[in-house]
Amino acid sequence: MTSWTPPSGTLQQQDGIWRPAQISNVSYPEDGNDACFQIEKGSYWFAHRNECILTLLSQFPPGGEVYDIGGGNGFVSLALQNASIDSVLVEPGNGARNASRRGVSRVIHAALEDTGFAEGSLPAAGAFDVVEHIDDDVAFLRTIHRFLKPGGRFYGTVPALQALWSEEDVHAGHFRRHDQNGISTRLRAAGFEVEFVAYFFSWLVLPVFLLRSLPFRLHGTPPKPSLDSAKRDHTLPDLLGGMVNLVHAWELDRLRRRRSPTTGSSLIFCARKHV
pLDDT at residue 115, as a whole number: 97
* Residue 101 C-alpha from the chain's centroid: 20
pLDDT at residue 28, as a whole number: 74
Cβ–Cβ under 8 Å, residues 7 and 115: no
Cβ–Cβ under 8 Å, residues 155 and 123: no
pTM for the full predicted model: 0.95
The C-alpha atoms of residue 275 and residue 272 are separated, in whole angstroms, by 9
Interhelix angle 44-59/75-82, nearest 10 degrees: 50
Give the side-chain half-sphere CA count within 13 A for 152: 21
pLDDT at residue 2, as a whole number: 54
Cβ–Cβ under 8 Å, residues 17 and 97: yes
pLDDT at residue 26, as a whole number: 78
Domain map (residue ranges) of the chain: 25-273
pLDDT, the chain, mean: 94
pLDDT at residue 1, as a whole number: 39
Domain 25-273 has CATH 2.70.40.10: no
Is the torsion defined by CA of 270, 254, 57, 88 positive or negative? positive
pLDDT at residue 224, as a whole number: 79
DSSP secondary structure of the chain: ------SBSS-EEETTEEE-S-----SS-TTHHHHHHTTGGG-HHHHHHHHHHHHHHHHS--SS-EEEET-TTSHHHHHHHHTT--EEEE-SSTHHHHHHHHT-S-EE-S-GGGS-BPTT-EEEEEEET-GGG-TTHHHHHHHHHHHEEEEEEEEEEEEB-GGG--HHHHHHT----B-HHHHHHHHHHTTEEEEEEEEE-GGGHHHHIIIIIHHHHHH--PPPPPHHHHHHHTS--HHHHHHHHHHHHHHHHHHHTT---S--SEEEEEEEE--
Beta bridge partners of 196: 270
pLDDT at residue 147, as a whole number: 98
Counting as low any pLDDT under 70, the low residues of the chain are 1-2, 30
